[in-house]
A = this chain, B = another copy of it.
């Protein structure tokens, strides 16, 4: 079995360690003091936030591992300095420690310093997932930016929605069939074709009433205004 240092015990590291359990020998490594680090491991996967990757690299004991980070955005080249073989091991998912995940359906995107390293990192990812793809830094960054919009930002709109509902004695769970259908629709048509609501109908009257309803919440109002006008201008550019 392959041997793997997973450096960082946050959301991503914890899930990667779990996903590789019984499929590889995993050493869970504390990213502060490198306790548990094995210098003879086949791989050292750096699963820390982008801000911390350089510091972790600076403190990492020398080893014979292939070194890879798990970031969607950080360039692969930060890894050159260690003089090891290196690459990127990017899982496209939102990780929270408490959640059980079906690892086999998580897309992994691999980039590497050579064809040989690429194959080894793909083999490692294939132990976890059925969806392993090669992607260069530009594609990977596009995936990450797109995920931020689709996941983090959409989730923030749900947080705003939740706040509005709670303030009015209502429960976010009421929206569940709506959310399920909104997501389901995008399987059958593009999100753009699936768009409904006051903005796409250019229903300025309803938009004005909604902004009036939100008037005490400046942030929500600004987001309402900006996204509505983006929907309207998008519809316009389609027609022209």
A141 at the interface (CB under 8 A from B): yes
- With A153-B227, A179-B150 already in contact, the answer to whether A213 and B141 are too (CB < 8 A) is yes
Look across to chain B and name the residue whose beta carbon is closest to the beta carbon of A50. Answer: B206
| Interface bits A77-108 vs B (CB < 8 Å: 1, else 0) | 00000000000000011111011011001110
Q: What's the minimum C-beta distance from A175 to chain B, rounded to whole angstroms?
A: 5
Tell me which residues across on chain B come within 8 A of A209, comparing CB atoms.
73, 141
- Asked whether A161 lies within 8 Å of B147 as measured between CB atoms, the reply is yes
A197 at the interface (CB under 8 A from B): yes
| Interface bits A138-180 vs B (CB < 8 Å: 1, else 0) | 1101111111111111111111111011011110101111111
Of A23-31, A39-47, A59-67, A216-224, which stretch is located at the interface? A216-224
A114 at the interface (CB under 8 A from B): no
A195 at the interface (CB under 8 A from B): yes
- With A162-B191, A178-B92 already in contact, the answer to whether A150 and B142 are too (CB < 8 A) is no
A57 at the interface (CB under 8 A from B): no
Q: What's the minimum C-beta distance from A218 to chain B, rounded to whole angstroms?
A: 10
A126 at the interface (CB under 8 A from B): no
| Interface bits A99-141 vs B (CB < 8 Å: 1, else 0) | 1011001110000000000000000000000000000001101
- Asked whether B170 lies within 8 Å of A151 as measured between CB atoms, the reply is no
Q: State the interface size on chain A (CB cutoff 8 A).
A: 94
A230 at the interface (CB under 8 A from B): yes
- Asked whether A158 lies within 8 Å of B162 as measured between CB atoms, the reply is no
CB contacts under 8 Å to B, within A208-240, are: 209-210, 213-214, 219-220, 222-224, 226-227, 230-231, 233-234
Q: How far is B101's CA from A177's CA once the two chains are assembled, in angstroms? A: 10
A192 at the interface (CB under 8 A from B): yes
Q: What's the minimum C-beta distance from A199 to chain B, rounded to whole angstroms?
A: 7
With A96-B189, A107-B174, A172-B186 given, can you name 7 additional A-B contacts, CB distance below 8 Å? A50-B203, A92-B177, A142-B170, A143-B170, A150-B175, A176-B187, A180-B183
Q: List 17 A-B contacts (CB under 8 A).
A: A49-B201, A50-B206, A73-B206, A95-B196, A98-B188, A99-B188, A105-B177, A139-B170, A142-B164, A142-B213, A143-B170, A145-B213, A148-B198, A149-B160, A152-B196, A154-B179, A176-B187
